[in-house]
Amino acid sequence: MTSVAPHKKAKALKPGSRRPAKELCSECGLCDTYYIHYVKEACAFLNQQVAELEAAAHGRSRNLESQDDWYFGVHQEMMAAKKKQPIEGAQWTGIVSTIACEMLTRGMVEGVVCVQNTKEDRFQPMPILATTPEQILAARVNKPTLSPNLSVLEQIEQSGMKRLLVIGVGCQIQALRAVEKQLGLEKLYVLGTPCVDNVSREGLQKFLETTSKSPETVVHYEFMQDFRVHFKHEDGSIETVPFFGLKTNKLKDVFAPSCMSCFDYVNSLADLVVGYMGAPFGWQWIVVRNDTGREMLDLVRDQIETQGVMSSGDRRQAVQNSIPAYDKGVTLPMWAAKLMGVVIERIGPKGLEYARFSIDSHYTRNYLFVKRNYPEKLAAHVPEYAKRIVGQYKLPE
Ligand code: FAD
Ligand code: SF4
């Protein structure tokens, strides 16, 4: 029998202290644990290594000859899906929480890393290592704030767990994959969601106050495929604000610098990704990256309706027009923003083309952000697939 060498440990940083990635830190949680020892190699903002980690997780990295791979990452299959009986209070229909509960109750895993909120604040993240379905369900719905999900990693070793599911967004999953071998697990399952434009808790407050009519009653929100932000309020009412009416000049500094320099919107390293942006309105979008992801999805096939992915429209002109508009912080008057929203919803990109629209808009914006603020990082930090996506557009200096 071979024995595994114990991993190296270092002293975790105190909450609030400056992190190795400095202002680019996304508070993924790794540095709150003794796995900080590996930070230089593992941190998504210090050492971009998506292609190498893809090869380790999925058996291959993105095929750079395939545009679908540039955009959506390594995948076996994509589909649109929704739960036949949605989970009340989930972000969408609750596919993520359902898969996690099934994995736990069937004994495939002993614990699930997910994030609840604190009692005092519905948007303040509180990562946990869940061991009951009730705890997983209490973690449903997005905490639209930077969340230190990996801060519970030390508990895994201490608990002696050998089979684990981690739910998380791209930057958390990159660091997790980089230390995966040190966790002493027999099997790690990774269930990811796409993620973009995340904010600190203070940034969220500013976003809600600048954009919603009733910031204190917002329960959750999403940037939807109909080109509107949908705010759900405590009384169940929905408020919509067109993207083109957002006060971009006031919101420019709201998004965290980590998210302004992220090129892993689609969570390239998860086994299975559950989002919405490649699916028709009201449906979720599923990307199966490898056999492990397929095994996870198979657990809930009888609880979901599915349909193939579709794609229509042409995003390119809309993306090209949005680049200087965002750069200059242009805000349209509300009537014009509403009109533009209606027109673009009728004739604009749908399905996978909408996902490409969102990826293109964010990667071009983020490329400019890194180029202007961290020019020395640009070449190594931007993955090759993102350089090709950005290379389709004319960017201002
Ligand atoms: P639920 O069953 O409600 O479960 C949600 C799960 O997300 C929970 O298990 C919880 O632990 C986890 N979670 C919540 N907040 C965080 C967080 N901050 N960090 C890590 N994990 C968290 N999808 C898109 O297609 N396009 C987008 O632009 C997009 N942006 C997103 C931005 C953020 C900040 C987040 C957290 C998610 C985003 N998603 C996006 C994913 C999407 O909003 C849904 O989370 C996904 O479709 C799952 O819905 P559900 O009903 O199955 O999830
Ligand atoms: Fe540490 Fe994560 Fe911040 Fe990088 S992003 S410095 S790994 S906490």
Contact 293, 272 (CB under 8 A): yes
Residues with CB under 6 A from ligand 2: 19-21, 25-28, 30-31, 39, 43, 45, 171, 175
Task: Write the burial class of residue 13 (CB in 10 Å: 0-12 exposed, 13-18 middle, 19+ buried).
Answer: middle
Q: Nearest 5 degrees, angle CA 366-CA 341-CA 225?
A: 60
The complex's ipTM works out to 0.98
Question: Candidates 84, 112, 132, 142: which one to mutate for ligand 1, based on the most atoms within 8 Å of Cβ?
Answer: 142
> Cα–Cα distance between 171 and 107 in angstroms, integer?
28
Ligand nearest to the CA of 28: 2
Question: Which is nearest to 332 in space by CA: 344, 340, 324?
Answer: 340
Question: Which is nearest to 40 in space by CA: 32, 30, 27?
Answer: 30
> Cα–Cα distance between 103 and 133 in angstroms, integer?
10
How far CA 304 is from CA of 82, 83, 86, 95, 333, in Å, comes to 5, 4, 9, 8, 41
> Cα–Cα distance between 37 and 6 in angstroms, integer?
13
pLDDT of residue 3: 44
- Which percentage of the chain shows pLDDT scores above 70? 94
Strands 77-83 and 304-307: antiparallel
- The mean per-residue pLDDT over the stretch 153-169 comes to 96
Task: Write the burial class of residue 288 (CB in 10 Å: 0-12 exposed, 13-18 middle, 19+ buried).
Answer: buried
> Cα–Cα distance between 84 and 14 in angstroms, integer?
45
- The mean per-residue pLDDT over the stretch 374-381 comes to 97
Question: Candidates 31, 152, 174: which one to mutate for ligand 2, based on the most atoms within 8 Å of Cβ?
Answer: 31
- Block residue for tokens 């697990």: 185
Q: How would residue 2 be classed by pLDDT, with cut points 50, 70 and 90?
A: very low
Ligand 1 in contact with 97 (CB < 6 A)? yes
Q: How would residue 252 be classed by pLDDT, with cut points 50, 70 and 90?
A: confident
Ligand nearest to the CA of 43: 2
| Tokens matching residue 142 | 């997005």
- The mean per-residue pLDDT over the stretch 79-106 comes to 97
Say whether pLDDT at 4 is over 60: no
> Cα–Cα distance between 87 and 134 in angstroms, integer?
13
Question: Candidates 11, 17, 25, 33: which one to mutate for ligand 2, based on the most atoms within 8 Å of Cβ?
Answer: 25
DSSP one-letter string for 194-221? ---S-B-HHHHHHHHHHH-S-GGGEEEE
Strands 284-288 and 111-117: unpaired
- Min mean pLDDT across 57-66, 88-97, 217-226, 372-381 is at 217-226
